[in-house]
Chain A
Amino acid sequence: DAGVTQSPTHLIKTRGQQVTLRCSPKSGHDTVSWYQQALGQGPQFIFQYYEEEERQRGNFPDRFSGHQFPNYSSELNVNALLLGDSALYLCASSGSDRQETQYFGPGTRLLVL
């Protein structure tokens, strides 16, 4: 049973560029949440996707957008990258029930120069 997978594992970009990160949820899960974790901080919620729609959004600017596909996989897009976007981006999957535990993928480490 495959867990949550993310790609790529590492990425280096320059300011102003755009980036797309990918996530495949754990088998049987249909809800995907994205988090940003800066060094030395806890993860911060970006948004959550369910049934191919953004169901909930955290306090992040519109430069952060996402998508969910019919197979429940998801993408996170960040436009006009800033130095402060350098972080570990975590994808977590869960079932659709509000009581479900979230399971995290290995993350994508993004460095913006």
Chain B
Amino acid sequence: GQNIDQPTEMTATEGAIVQINCTYQTSGFNGLFWYQQHAGEAPTFLSYNVLDGLEEKGRFSSFLSRSKGYSYLLLKELQMKDSASYLCAVRDPSSGYSTLTFGKGTMLLVSP
């Protein structure tokens, strides 16, 4: 089976740093993705990890540990516009091709 867990909600203050965790249990693994989704809008691609370690992209970083089935998304210098849902998704080749299995998303609220 496939199971992807992430916290339902998180709150943080503008200018702070927040870490959103994701744990997964899948039959196979061929990459982990983070997407940002503002209310009523489409998910937008943030990051991709397939090997262990940290990937940095501006204010956003994503970490992967395949042995632990664990990833996190780190957001630095938080801005009000970062208030959104953050989706963790795993590409599992046992599900075929490039299909993604998503977690339920973590709603991040950034306050002034």
CB-contact partner of B104 in A40, A97, A100, under 8 A? A40
CB-based contact A104/B97 at 8 Å: no
Q: Indicate whether A71 reaches chain B with its CB closer than 8 angstroms.
A: no
Q: Nearest chain B CB to A86's CB is how many angstroms away?
A: 14
Interface range, A side: 20 to 34
Q: Indicate whether B112 reaches chain A with its CB closer than 8 angstroms.
A: no
28 pairs, CB–CB < 8 Å, chain A vs chain B? A33-B99, A33-B100, A35-B102, A41-B104, A42-B87, A42-B89, A43-B102, A44-B102, A45-B95, A45-B99, A45-B100, A45-B101, A48-B97, A48-B98, A50-B97, A55-B96, A56-B96, A56-B99, A58-B99, A90-B42, A98-B30, A98-B93, A99-B31, A99-B98, A100-B98, A101-B48, A105-B42, A106-B42
